[in-house]
Structures are given as structure tokens and as C-alpha cells.
A and B are shown apart, each in its own frame.
Chain A
């Protein structure tokens, strides 16, 4: 079942209730004119919000629109500079998470607030132990936890260690934590970022059950299709203000995107069919073990052809990072070979990142802060990293700063990096502009092969559109592109061929034309071929992506 189907069938789960939002009810949450500044940055300006009881209310907006700040204020993590909070019609003074919890608010953070070395039970109890001795309180906590798991169909083993649970279950524990504290209002901050499509469906089913039991839910996301699939109402934030509120059924993705960005956005990626030519890079049965001896790449073979985008799908941590590292010469091979042009790289004849760069392979790493740039450097320095030995940037002894600066300015113009200041510290650019700078550096030399990881992670819709266009343009001029992304949508819309990785192995290799999110999702969770979606599913989901 897809997200869409859940949306349409949710009334069944809710036992016939469709939860029509009526304005006569007292709102579960009402925020009036909330403002919050961090130094000169106005994160929230006079924000109003009403959430009706027993509904799912979506808040959508770009990065930095102020969604998370607003929720942190509601949850008492920050204090608002001005404005009032009403819970069930009563004014509440929420100064700490403790106040929020006692007002019946629970929050599932984007990065889970769990202690990994603790058991599920210990995590659920923490802060709500109910007595100073653990033995006694853990008995009643266990009973309560089991009761909640049953009531809301949230099965989980109370004695499992958090660190050993998959993220989907960890999230479940976060929800149980909130319910255990008696939350009637649940805030979820970007809950699907770390989930597989199947886990996302599971989560939406859970949210549906919660709604049917009268829990009011705020769902923060930047994914339009999630808003459309599960929410009753949606509020759009832009640049710290609430720009609009809609009934979900009366709006569309295009309208929401336009409200978010403030201008018309092309959600679809338009591209011609690929015309793959000669093979530029070929990896044969490569394997790699990390320092702990864990097999991260297991017999991976793939080839990249000119004029083709190969997408790698998979839940993060299944070897994609290592694949990029191996192909770009950062980590050694323990088996197999990589052929680029005439050069054959094997464990006996290893290469280096520098040599591979010289073959015309450019690499945009997944984690731009860790590998793509040095945030303490100026933009102009970031713009030549990896190519800094190039004679055009260097004088006899000193660096030719003038040339470096001009080069950077040119890149900034071509790739729309803002502000256009080569001397600004790179940490001071927004995530999207940092990413554009890194992409500009790697793409500007028209590499024969481009390895790109998470090109749009933490990047605004507007910038995503720009990056996608440029990737397609590069393909059309005859480059081979390897795209790694945890955003399935992105892989589906850009790739010509899709490879699915699971635990370091390639578990699927399909033409993008034949692929659909459901089938890929199953492969990503290594559920194999059985249970793939029906044709109508495919139509819905792929249509979803390109519409």
C-alpha cells in the first residue's frame, strides 16, 4: 500500500471518522503572535497557528523558514520573545520541556532524543520514573508501556537496547515516550527523513490510529507528498512568518510549493531520454572492509556510461558512502578492480584520490561539511580545494589570490551562489549555497565522470530545482553521473538506471522507466521481489514524482 492509499483509506482505519475540522471547536493548540530572534536573525515573526483537536496539522516550509524554532518554542526548548500559547483554550506559560510535558505536549525530534546504551523501558521511563527507586517504578512502567503498545499497536520489546533497534523502531519508542507522559498533542519534526518508504507507511498508519484516538498531531516536513497524504490542514511558513493556511483537500502540491518558495517552482524534472555511449568507468566485484573488519562493500560490480545517470538507492549506511569513497580513490579496495580509461585499479595497484581526479573524475561527497569543504575557509579557498595545485592558481611561491578570487566569483555567478562574495567564510553561507559552491567546483571543469552524493540534502526547493537541471545538463553533454541519494524521489526522477544497495551488496538493478517507489522500497529493505506493487501503485507513485 502506498502513502496515497493510506490517505484515501484512512477513514477505514479511523473507524469511519473522517475528522472534519470544524472551526467551532476549541483549538488544541493556539499560538498567537509568536516572535523569536536569535541575535539579528528573526526566526519567527508574529506567527499565529491553530490546531484543531484530533486532526493532523502539517507545517511546511523550506529550511530556515522557522518551523523547527516554532515547535521548539511550543515544546519549551526555547522561550519566545513575545506571544502567547493556549492549550485547549487555556493560556499556558511554557518555559521548559517540563512545562510542555505537563501541558500534554509530546515531541518526536528529528534526531531522536534517546539514550542508545539504555533499554526501551529505561528510555521511556527517563524523566517520568514515578519514584526514586528504579525497581519499583520499572514494574509499573513496564505494565503501562505494554498497555500503550497494545492500545496503539506499537509493538516493541521493552528490554531491547535502543542502539540495536532500527530507526523505525527507535521512532516508535519516541512516540511511546510521548504517550507514556500522557501527551494529547504530538509534534513530529521531519519524521520521515530517516525512514524507508515502508517505514514511512507504517508511521502514517500509526499517526492515523493516534488521530482516531483523539490525539492532535503537528507534522513538520518539507515533503509535499507527505502533507498531501496524511494531513487535514496545512500551514505554510516562509522566512519566519506564517504565509498561509489551507484545508489539505482544497490545495495542491504546486500551490504549496509556490507558497513555500514565494514564486512558481517546477516540481518536475524534464529530461530527454538518455543516449548512453561508451563505458567510462567499470567496477568489477569490488569489496571493502572497514577498520572494524566489517564488510562494507560486498562484490559490487557496476559500469558508468557517458551520457547516463546511474542512481544508487538505499537506506543510508548500506554501502553507498563506501562505494563513493572507493570509486573516488579515498578508501582502498580489498578485492576486485576499477577500470577508468586505460588504468586498472586493483588492491595490488592502488590509486589515490588525486590520481583519480586527474582522470577526470569529480566527486561531490555526501557530507559536505566533513568532506566537501572546510567551513572555516573562505568561499574562494573552498572553491579550489582539490584543484589547488593547478598552475593557474599558483605563482612561484605564493598563491595567486587574485586568480582564485576571480575564479570563485565566476563560479558564483554561473551557479547562482548567494551572497556573491568570494571572501566570505564558507560557514556563513546557507546549506543550499554551500552545496551549490561545492557542486560548482566539481562540475565546472566538465568532468568525464561525476560522482555525486546527496546533492540536495538540506537544500531548499528552489536550489534543488537548479541543481537537478544542472545535473541533467551535464548528462546531456556526455558525462557519466553516479548519483547517491537517500531521497528516493530524487533517484527516481533523475536517474536513467537505478541500482539498489543493501548491506554492501547490489540487490537490484533496474531501468528507471520500469522502476517504482514501492518496488525499490522493498528492495531497499531487502524484501526481495515478492510483494511488489501493483501496476496501479506504480502509476500513482511514479506519477507522484514527476507530476
Chain B
């Protein structure tokens, strides 16, 4: 029983770590899509951010500088997306795909050119990585039954960016529903004409929305390469941007349901790792591949209709053109 409890705790613990990039990207997607800009480029921004963080951290030895580099890189990609589909009213899906392809190509190219390790960046250690933060008193109350382990094992001991991700959720909610910026952002995703005729610039508003998305994706990228792992590797985002997009839709473009969807996907991933090579009573050993495909299979099933009708922001995907 005690074993099972600890096992569950450590599965939940890795759920938190695996959900972190999903949560950040999903919140990024909410900002962008609530303003009416489809953000299929989450994946590309995540990957580019991861590379920038690792490269900068390897060069400077500072994880913080790496984080800043990741945010700047990701914002630039977001602005590129914005330039294509806000200023020039291009197709948002095509532009997003272009961002993804660009990120996938450029990270490897720069990686080989700078570090000569086949697209990898050097291994990071010490200050070049975000290290776990131990909460005060964590060691002291470890022995207290039930609450002790939860505090020490589950809540304490993550790196800074994990906490940032979880704080990003209430922050996103607050910005969207409690600020003037949020009101306008939600309005522009529903009816940009209403915003325009109210005397607010649709263009500027949407740019600000994609910049918010850029910031969050940058943090997620830095997490991947300088916190969760200790280097950048080719295609290390491995579709997590798309999963985050799915989680965001699953959460109906709202922060808290989006968080829950990310946690679900993170949990499935953690479970897949945990059950690797374990013999389940009555079934036997489950093939690793099957477990690993579970989150993706579930995504398809859930999105195919188990979530009820997901109503997207009304103006999503439509460039704003003053009608003639």
C-alpha cells in the first residue's frame, strides 16, 4: 500500500513535469486563438525557443540568459506569423506550418554550424540549467505521513519553470477575464468589426496577442532544453506543440479546462513511462509502443467527439478586412 502510494506520487510528480510545456503552449494558444489567430505554429515556436535557450545557455553559462534568448526568439517567430497573417492577411494555417518548418530546419542548421554535434547542443550543467527548488521545511516534514511525502515529493523539488507554468494558468485567466486588454482580446476574436468601430485598432490588438503567445512558447522551449533536459536535440519538441493545441481545443479555449486537458495528456505520458517493461497482472507486459501512442490515440478519440461541441472564437482564422 505504501509502495503504491509512493509509486502514484512519483507518477503524479512526472505528470507535472511532462505537462509543463503543454500548459505553457496551451496558454499561448489561448492568447493567440482567442484573438482570432490560429496558432498551429506553437510547435515551431517551442522548438525554436528550446534551441535558443540551449545555445545561449551553452554560450553564456546562464540559464536565465537562455530563457531570455528563448523568449526573444519565440516572439520573433510570433511576429513573423503576425506579419504574414495580420498585416498581410495571409492564411493562418499555412503561415503557422511555415513557422514549424522554418524552426525545424533552422535549429538543426544553426546547431550544426555552431556546435558541430549533428544538430545537438553541448550538455549543460550547473548554472546553465534550471535546477530544482526545494521548498522550505521539505526535509523536516518528509516523515509526516501522507502530507509529508505530498509536500516533499510532489510539490517541492521542481525547477522554477514548472511553477511558472502553473502560475501562467491563473494569470491567463485573470488577463482574459479581468482586464481591459482581455475584454478587447476576446472581443476581437469574436467580432473584429465591433472592436474596430469601437475605435480600437484590430491590428495592434492582435499583434499584442501573438506576442503574449510568443512569450509563453519561449518559456516552454527553455523548459524543454535547459530544465527538463540538459541539451537541445533535433526535433526535441516531438509534437508537443500540437498536443498542446489539441489540449487547448479540448479545453474549449479556456484556461482552466485547458490546464486539465494538459494534465491528462501529461499523466498518460507519465503512465506510459511508468508501465514500460512492467508486467500488468492478467495482461502481461504491455508493449512500450502501445503505451507511448496512447496520448495520441486519446487525442484523436477525444477530439473526434467526446468533448461535445467545441465552439471556437467566431472570427478565428479570418483575416480582418474592412468590407467594401
Contacts and interface: CB of A to CB of B under 8 A. Distances in A.
Interface of A: 38, 75, 77-78, 96-102, 107, 109, 111, 113-118, 122-123, 125-129, 131-135, 137, 177
Interface in B126-182: 177-182
A116 B190 contact: yes
Residue of B187, B198, B324 ringed by the most chain A CB atoms within 10 A = B198
Given A113-B191, A126-B187, A137 B180 contact: yes
Given A132-B180, A133-B179, A118 B190 contact: yes
A133 B314 contact: no
Nearest to A100: B199
Contacts of A122: 183, 187
A255 B306 CA distance: 63
Interface in B39-85: none
Nearest to B309: A292
B133 to A, nearest CB: 31
Contacts of B182: 134
A117 B34 CA distance: 12
Nearest to B188: A115
A134 B198 contact: no
A97 B178 contact: no
B183 A129 contact: yes
B197 A125 contact: no
B260 interface: no
A78 B314 CA distance: 24
Contacts of B206: none
Contacts of B197: 75, 77, 97, 107, 109, 113
9 closest Cβ contacts across the A-B interface? A127-B198, A98-B199, A113-B194, A129-B180, A97-B199, A113-B197, A115-B190, A115-B187, A132-B180
A107 B177 CA distance: 27
B308 to A, nearest CB: 13
A78 B196 contact: no
A120 to B, nearest CB: 13
A133 B199 contact: no
13 contacts: A38-B324, A77-B196, A97-B196, A99-B199, A113-B197, A117-B190, A122-B183, A125-B183, A126-B187, A126-B198, A126-B200, A132-B180, A134-B180
A135 B178 CA distance: 7
A115 B179 contact: no
Nearest to B178: A134
B195 interface: yes
B254 interface: no
Contacts of B194: 113-115, 123, 126
Contacts of A113: 191, 193-194, 197-198
> Dominant SS at the B interface?
helix
B282 to A, nearest CB: 43
Q: Which of B182, B184, B190, B191 has the most CB of A within 10 A?
A: B191
A327 B176 CA distance: 48
Contacts of A137: 180
B54 to A, nearest CB: 36
Nearest to A128: B198
Contacts of B199: 96-102, 127
A177 B194 CA distance: 11
Interface string B197-223: 111100000000000000000000000
Contacts of A102: 199
Contacts of B181: 132
Contacts of B322: 77-78
A175 to B, nearest CB: 14
Given A99-B199, A101-B198, A126-B183, 8 more contacts: A109-B193, A109-B197, A115-B191, A116-B191, A125-B183, A126-B198, A131-B180, A133-B178
A107 B199 CA distance: 12
A75 B199 CA distance: 10
Given A77-B322, A117-B190, A118-B187, A126 B178 contact: no
A125 B195 CA distance: 11
A123 B194 CA distance: 9
A137 B181 CA distance: 13
A101 B178 CA distance: 25
B114 to A, nearest CB: 42
Contacts of A133: 178-180
A122 B197 CA distance: 15
Given A114-B191, A115-B187, A134 B179 contact: yes
A203 B241 CA distance: 51
Given A97-B197, A98-B199, A109-B197, A134 B183 contact: yes
Contact of A127 (B184, B190, B191): B184
Contact of B195 (A96, A101, A126, A128): A126
Nearest to A292: B309
B200 to A, nearest CB: 5
Contacts of B314: 116-117
Contacts of A131: 180
A133 B182 CA distance: 9
A76 to B, nearest CB: 8
Contacts of B187: 115, 118, 122, 126
Contacts of A38: 324
A135 B184 CA distance: 15
Interface string B254-268: 000000000000000
Which residue, of A97, A99, A115, A128, has the highest number of chain B Cβ atoms within 10 A?
A115
A111 B191 CA distance: 11
Nearest to A177: B198
A38 B200 CA distance: 24
Contacts of B324: 38
B278 to A, nearest CB: 47
Contacts of B190: 115-118
B186 to A, nearest CB: 8
A122 B195 CA distance: 12
A122 B194 CA distance: 12
B124 to A, nearest CB: 39
A113 B188 CA distance: 11
Contacts of A127: 184, 195, 198-200
Interface string B282-324: 0000000000000000000000000000000010000000101
A409 to B, nearest CB: 30
Nearest to A106: B197
A78 B193 CA distance: 13
A117 B187 CA distance: 9
Contacts of A126: 183-184, 187, 194-195, 198, 200
Contacts of A118: 186-187, 190
A127 B197 CA distance: 9
Nearest to A69: B324
A129 B179 CA distance: 10
Contacts of B191: 113-116
Contacts of B200: 98, 126-127
A97 B195 CA distance: 10
A100 B200 CA distance: 12
Contacts of B179: 132-134
A100 B183 CA distance: 22
Contacts of A98: 199-200
Nearest to A39: B324
